[in-house]
Structures are given as structure tokens and as C-alpha cells.
Amino acid sequence: MNSFGAVVPLLVVVGAALIVFLLEAFLKKENKNYLAYLSLLALIGCGILSANAWNGGLTYFDGMLRLDNAALFLTFLFLIAVAFVILIGMKYISLQDANHGEFYGLLLLALSGLMIMVSSTHFIVIFLGLEVLSVSSYSLAGLKRKDDKSSESAVKYFLMGSFASAFLVFGLAILFGTAQALDIPGLVDFFKAGPDNQVLGVVGLGLVLVGFAFKIAIVPFHMWAPDVYEGAPTPVTAFFSIGPKAAGFAVLIRLLAPYWNAGFRSGKLFGFLWALAALTMLAGNLIALRQNNIKRMFAYSSIAYAGYMLIAVLAGDGAGLLFFLTIYMFMSIGAFGSLIALSRKGREYNELGDFAGVGFKYPWIGAIFAVFLLSLAGFPPTAGFLAKFYVFVAAVNQGLTPLVLIAVLASLISVYYYLRIIVYMYMREPEREVSIEMENPALYLVLFLCLYGVLQLGLFPGNVLYLIKQAVAALL
């Protein structure tokens, strides 16, 4: 495969996005679903083309494009995630007055940004991918144009996002000036080489890490996340909760993994990230306890989850991280999907009080939602338990016991607010009238698939772990 062959999967996605933008102008409102089908087709095509590159481990464009198994695994993850988001969004956008075909196109562009980010080790490419992702995300967040919260979320995301980008760019400038390279192998050589420029280089690295910490919403760089998650259209929130986070962590582990054996763990960087992980888990879960808006509660929960993922990074456990991300994708999209299931035209039910008695009124939705919540809370034998458990074992193995202690404590706190929703659904009399739009087969399909994923990965994780093992060999 030559260099141009290697970008074909990306081009399929971008091309589909362009076609979607063009067709959008000509399609009638009731035919917008065709755009979704077209997008799904492109995702499948991209998946097939990417699958061909599995185990190839080739690099193109002087190493700027790197299709190793880790990149491909994450690409598949993103393809599935975006497919799910499209499916849960189809009905949603027409019900919530955001029926713009651009929804699909922007999602595809955001996907291309993710793919670019994870399949490169060169920071210019990663940065440009990040910007493609960010720019599409800003407008995705504001897609419900008549909704004040949606616009506010777009503003906040945009302002904070470009503020963080500026830090990232400045960090890159310093890194490039000191290390004279922006690809990860070059940076590794630089940091292993010797004392020249090291101090300034570390400052550059620090600023770059701040930029990525923003994207993966690590405390204290997380403040944008709750507002943006709450205001954005729910399918978009589902996308935010997994897409940027997974890509950010992939970059982070690619960046940090090579130092693993180089006295890194006694260093200050490690210590600081350790503290951030602890802070993120505790703060995320503690604030989530106070929330009455479930979407916002999930935003904080997703922040806390970034803390757990950071443990995997600190433990140098690439396989654990990928496994965690895979499982989190199913849980998170499932949970947000269940929120979408509880909506009707022009009305979304996101307050805790809305959920009183829902378990009896809509037994299927209630039961499925409960499974996702239990999984997020980490109850065995759901996948959520296994994900955390894997990471914790790896961390204890690496001597990160105090951090695991905090993580276990934090995750026990978190159980409280997840179960609070279940208690509302099953142990409360309905407080107010809740009527929902039942006819939404695409959404139910996604809920079913996520449910399947959560149970399958909880009970029979073998196959996925096998793939991850292959993938992670490339990462470390």
C-alpha cells in the first residue's frame, strides 16, 4: 500500500462528510435520514479498509501517518462510537429541533480528527487532528441553535478550548526549539540524551500536557466539561464523553510510555500526574454526588472516569487503558442513549425527579438503564467492574497502592449517585407526568448493542483482550 492508499480510509470519511454537506441542501426535512444511512455506509467502508491494515504496522509520509495496531484498534473504537452516536441521534435531532444534516457531516469530520490524532506520533499532525476535532466539536455543541444552553455550551467550549490550544501551541514551540523534533521518538531521544535544554524542554512538555489534560478533562483543567456536556445535544455529549477522551489518552500513553523505565516513576512529572489522578477521581465523584441533573451528573462521572484512565497510564498499562476505553464506550453511550430514550418532541427528561417510577412505567428502558448504571458503578459481573479491576490490579502490581486505595474509595463514593438513579426509577412513586416518544428503533438497537457489549465484555472479555494484546504491542 502506498502513502495514498494509506489515507483512503480517512478520505472515505471526509468524502462522505462532504457529500453529506452537499446533499443536505437538496434533501427535504423528512428525508434527512438518508444522510445518516450514507454516513453509516462510509463508516463501514472505512472499517473494512482499516481492517486490511491490521498487523501491517506500517508508517507513511515520513512517519507522520502511523497505522499500527493501536491506532487501528482505536479507529475501530471510534467508528463504532460514531455509528452509535449517529443512530441515537437520528430521531433525537428531529425531535429536539436540531434536524440539520450537518450533524452527520460534522460528526464524520470530528471522527476524521480522532483518526488523525491516534494514527500519528508527530505532534504537528496530532495538533492538527485535535483542531479538526475541536472545531467540529464547537459547532456540534451548539447544534440546538434555539436552545440557550446549547449555545452557551458552544461558547464555553470554544473559549476554553482555544485558550488551552494556545498553551498547547506554545508548549510545542518550546519543545520544537529544544528537542528539534516534534515526533515522539525524537522527543524520547531528546529527553534521554542529556542535560542540554532539558529544563526548558520540560517546560514545553508541561505546557503540552496541560493542553491534553484539558482535552481529557483532568482536574483542574476540567471545568469546561460539565457545562459543555450539559448544554450540548445529548448524542453529541455521548460522543464527547468517549471520543476526545480516548484520543487524548492514546496520545498521552504514546508520549509517556517510552519513559516508563527511565527513572520516570520517581520523577516530579509522575508525582504530579499521580496527584492529578487522585484529585480527578475524588473531585469528579464528590461533585457528582450533588447533581440533580443527570446529564450533568454523567459529566462529572466522566471526569472521574478520566481519573481511573490516568491510573492506567501511570501504571504503564496500555492494554488496561484500551480495555477500559472500550468498555467505557459501551457504558457511556448506553447511559446517554437511555437518557435520550426518555424524551419526546421538544422535551428532554434530565432531572432526577423525572426518573421517579420510570422503572415501572417503562420497564425495558428502566432495566437496561439500570444495567448501564450498575456497570458504571462497577458492579460485577458487568464490564464496568472488570475494567476498573484490571486497571487496579495493574496499578497495585506497579506499586501504586495508595493511588488504588483512593481510586477504590472514589469508586465506592460513586456507587451512591449511580444507585440513586436506580432508587428513583424503582423505589419512588412518579412525581410528575413523563411521556416519551416510543418509536425509535435505531436508538433501541444501540441500547441493545451496548447492553450486549457491557455484558459480553464483563463475562467473556477474551476475544477483545486478544485484539488489545495485539494492539498494545505497537503502543509500548
Partner 1 sequence: MTDVFWLIPFAPVLSSLVLVVFGSKLSKKWVSVQACGAVFLSFVFALVAFLGSLKISPEEFPIVKTLFPWIGAGSFQAGFSFQFDPLSAVMVLVVTGVGFLIHLYSVGYMAHDKGYTRYFAYLNLFTFAMLILVLASNMVLMFVGWEGVGLCSYLLIGFWFEKPSAAAAGKKAFIVNRIGDMGFILGLLFILVAVGSSEFSAINKAIGQGLFPQALATLIAILLFVGATGKSAQIPLYVWLPDAMEGPTPVSALIHAATMVTAGVYMVARLNLLFAFSGTAADIVALVGALTAVFAATMALTQNDIKRVLAYSTISQLGYMFIGCGVGAYAAGVFHLYTHAFFKSLLFLSAGSVIHALSGQQDMRKMGGLRKYLPRTFPPFLIGAIAISGIPFLSGFFSKDAILTEAFAQGQYFVWALGLTGAVMTAFYMFRLIFLTFYGQERIEHEAKHHLHESPKSMTVPLAILAVFSVIAGYVGLPAVLGEKADLFKRFLEPVIKPGAEGHIGAGTEWLLMLASVAVAAVGIFAAYVFYLQKPGIPHTLVARFPWLYKLLYNKYFVDEIYGAVIVNPLVKGSDWVYGHFDLKVIDGALNASASATGFFGKVLSFVQTGFVKDYALVFLLGAVIFLGVLLF
Partner 2 sequence: MAILLFFLFAAFAVGSVLGMIISRNQAYSALFLVVAFASLGGLFGLLGAPFMAVVQIIIYAGAIMVLFIFVIMMIHLGEGISAEKKKWTIAAAVFMGIILLAEIVFAVKGAPAVPMAGQEMAGTSPTEIGRLLFTKYLYPFEITSILIIAALVGAVVLIKKREGE
Partner 3 sequence: MIPPGYFFILSVVLFVLGIIAFFFKRDLITQFMAIEIMLNAANLAFLALARSSNFVDAQVIVFFIITVAAAEAAIGLAIVLLIFRKKKTIKTETLNSMKG
Per CB under 8 A, which of residues 102..141 are in contact with partner 3? 124, 127-128, 131, 135, 138-139
Which of these segments, 4-12, 80-88, 141-149, 413-421, binds partner 1 (CB under 8 A)? 413-421
**Chain residues 132-151 in contact with partner 2, contact rule CB under 8 A:** 132, 135-136, 138-139, 142-143, 145
What is the spatial distance between Cα 47 and Cα 95, in angstroms, rounded to a whole number? Answer: 30
Out of 95, 116, 394, 467, point to the residue binding partner 2 (CB under 8 A).
116
CB-CB contact of 380 with 458 (8 Å): yes
Size of the site for partner 3 (CB under 8 A): 41
Cβ-based nearer residue to partner 2, 112 or 237: 112
Q: How far is the CB of 222 from partner 3 (least distance, A)?
A: 14
Assign 155 to helix, strand or coil: helix
- The one among 4, 34, 37, 416 contacting partner 1 by CB under 8 A: 416
CB atoms within 10 A of CB 199: 9
394 binds, among partner 1, partner 2, partner 3, none (CB under 5 to 8 A by kind): partner 1
| Using rule CB under 8 A, residue 131 touches partner 2 | yes
Task: Return the range that interacts with partner 2 (CB under 8 A); candidates 105-113, 298-306, 432-440, 449-457.
Answer: 105-113
Q: What residues between 275 and 304 interact with partner 3 by CB under 8 A? A: 290-291, 296
Q: Counting contacts by CB under 8 A, is residue 429 touching partner 3?
A: no
Range 171-190, binding partner 3 (CB under 8 A): 172-174, 176-178, 180, 182
Closer of 88 and 287 to partner 1 (Cβ): 287
Report how far residue 13's alpha carbon sits from residue 17's, in angstroms, rounded to the nearest whole number.
6
CA-derived radius of gyration, the chain: 21
201 binds partner 3, rule: CB under 8 A: no
Q: Which is nearer to partner 3, 181 or 473 (CB)?
A: 181
Min dist. Cβ of residue 198 to partner 2 (A): 8
What is residue 100's three-state secondary structure? coil
CA pair distance 157, 165, nearest whole angstrom:
12
Q: Which of residues 161-190 bind partner 2 (CB under 8 A)?
A: 174, 177-178
Residues 277-306, mask of contacts with partner 2 (x by CB under 8 A): ------------------------------
Q: Which stretch binds partner 2 (CB under 8 A): 78-86, 100-108, 387-395, 438-446?
A: 100-108
Measure Cα distances from 39 to 12, 297, 461 in Å.
10, 31, 29
User: Can you say how many angstroms the Cα of residue 162 is from the centroid of all Cα atoms in its chain?
Assistant: 19
Reported in sequence order, the residue ranges of 257-365 that DSSP labels E, i.e. its strands, are 343-344, 347-348
Neighbour count for residue 34 (Cβ, 10 Å): 13
Report long-range pairs for 3-9 (Cβ below 8 Å, ≥24 apart): 3/60, 3/61, 3/65, 6/53, 6/58, 6/60, 6/65, 6/67, 7/60, 7/65, 8/49, 9/45, 9/46, 9/49, 9/50, 9/53, 9/75, 9/115
307-366 residues near partner 2, rule: CB under 8 A: none
| Residue from the set 226, 231, 248, 307 that interacts with partner 1 by CB under 8 A | 226
For 9-137, list the strands marked E by DSSP. 58-60, 65-67
The beta strands (E) that lie in 258-370 are given as: 343-344, 347-348
Per-position x/- string for 138-167, each x denoting binding to partner 1 as judged by CB under 8 A, each - no binding: -----------------xx--xx--xx--x
DSSP state of 380: T
Cα separation values, 253 from 71, 178, 211, Å: 12, 22, 15
* Cα(371)–Cα(382) distance, integer angstroms: 8
- Please classify residue 402 by burial: count the beta carbons closer than 10 Å to its beta carbon, then call 0-12 exposed, 13-18 middle and 19+ buried: exposed
Binding site for partner 2 (CB under 8 A): 3, 7, 14, 17-18, 21, 60-62, 64-65, 100, 102, 105-106, 109-110, 112-113, 116, 122, 124-125, 128-129, 131-132, 135-136, 138-139, 142-143, 145, 154, 174, 177-178, 196-197, 199-200, 202-203
Binding site for partner 3 (CB under 8 A): 124, 127-128, 131, 135, 138-139, 142, 145, 148-149, 151-156, 158-159, 162-163, 165-167, 169-170, 172-174, 176-178, 180, 182, 226-227, 230-231, 290-291, 296
